[in-house]
Amino acid sequence: MSSLHIPEVCGAMLLPDCTLFPHGGLPLHIFEPRYRQMLEDTLSDSCFFAVARLTGAETKEPGKCTAPIGTVGLVRASREMEDGSSNLLLHGVIRVRFTEWIDDAPYPKARISPLPAVFEPESQAESATEALREAAEAATLELPEEVRQTVLDMSRQIDDPAILADVICQQFLHQPDDRQQMLETESVAERIAWICRELAP
């Protein structure tokens, strides 16, 4: 991620009950004219836009109807359809705080502040990662064996507890409020403790 330049201002897609985590993937169908324009601008510029969860009915003031923290994603693939809509895959890159909503485009647009995830203390990173792997194993007990092994192999390849926590949240948390709570929890250690409690058999 260090090689990626996160823009200071970017478009934002406002979605009800939708939370994207860093390192997760989100397939999207872009059909509204405003978001078509946002995608066009995005692809001609940085290829980044944010996902913000709506907390109520959308209003003309996004700051009053969206969660304060969302995720900036990178457009990994985009295919325009014959009717002008597009199917795309957005890859989550980093949490961001929406610090200011800017009204100079036909789509929501915000100034953002990145929120890097760092696990502390570093001396406990290995044990935290192992605890997350055990949580992932518990969460996959009822899945088909092939799927289960794929998930477990993936968890063994990730050594950073902050990254693994986000990957597990993306895959195994389904309640919108829980997902948003984990996205907004500042302490990685607190996220990990919560995940391990929730996914315990």
Strands 48-54, 9-16: parallel, antiparallel or unpaired by DSSP?
Answer: parallel
pLDDT for residue 1: 45
* Domain boundary, last residue among 66, 95, 114: 114
Whether residue 92 is predicted with pLDDT greater than 90 in this model: the reply is yes
33 plus 83 within the same structural domain = yes
Q: 164-189: b or e for each residue (b if 16 or more CB lie within 10 Å)?
A: bbbbbbbbbbeeeeebbebbbbeebb
Please check whether residue 4 lies inside any domain of the structure: no
pLDDT at 101: 98
Are both 73 and 54 inside the same structural domain? yes
Long-range contacts of 177-182 (CB under 8 A, 24+ apart): 179/19, 179/21, 180/19, 180/53, 180/67, 182/21
- Six token digits for residue 192: 């990990």
Residue 77 lies in a domain: yes
Predicted confidence band at 124 (pLDDT cuts at 50, 70, 90)? very high
**Residue 87, number of CB atoms within 10 A of its CB:** 14
Band of residue 3 on the pLDDT scale cut at 50, 70, 90 = low
End position of a domain, from candidates 48, 81, 114: 114
Residue 2 lies in a domain: no
Arithmetic mean of pLDDT, 97-106:
97
Q: What are the angstrom distances between the C-alpha of 41 and each of 63, 93, 164, 166?
A: 22, 19, 32, 28
Considering the domain architecture, whether residues 13 and 105 belong to the same structural domain is answered as yes
Mean pLDDT score, 156-174: 94
> 156 and 182 share a domain?
yes
Identify the band that residue 2 occupies on the pLDDT scale cut at 50, 70 and 90. very low
Residue type at 11?
Answer: G
Asked if 193 and 32 count as a contact pair (C-beta separation under 8 A), the reply is: no
Residue 60: which CATH number? 2.30.130.40
Average pLDDT, the chain: 94
Calculate mean pLDDT across residues 130-153: 89
* Whether 17 and 57 share a structural domain: yes
What pLDDT is stored for residue 186 in this prediction? 93
Residue 28: domain span? 9-114
Q: Are residues 192 and 126 in the same domain?
A: yes
The strand pairing partners of 99, in sequence order, are none
- Asked if residue 72 is part of any domain, the answer here is yes
Amino acid 201: pLDDT: 73
Q: What domain count does the chain have? A: 2
Question: Do 107 and 127 belong to one domain?
Answer: no
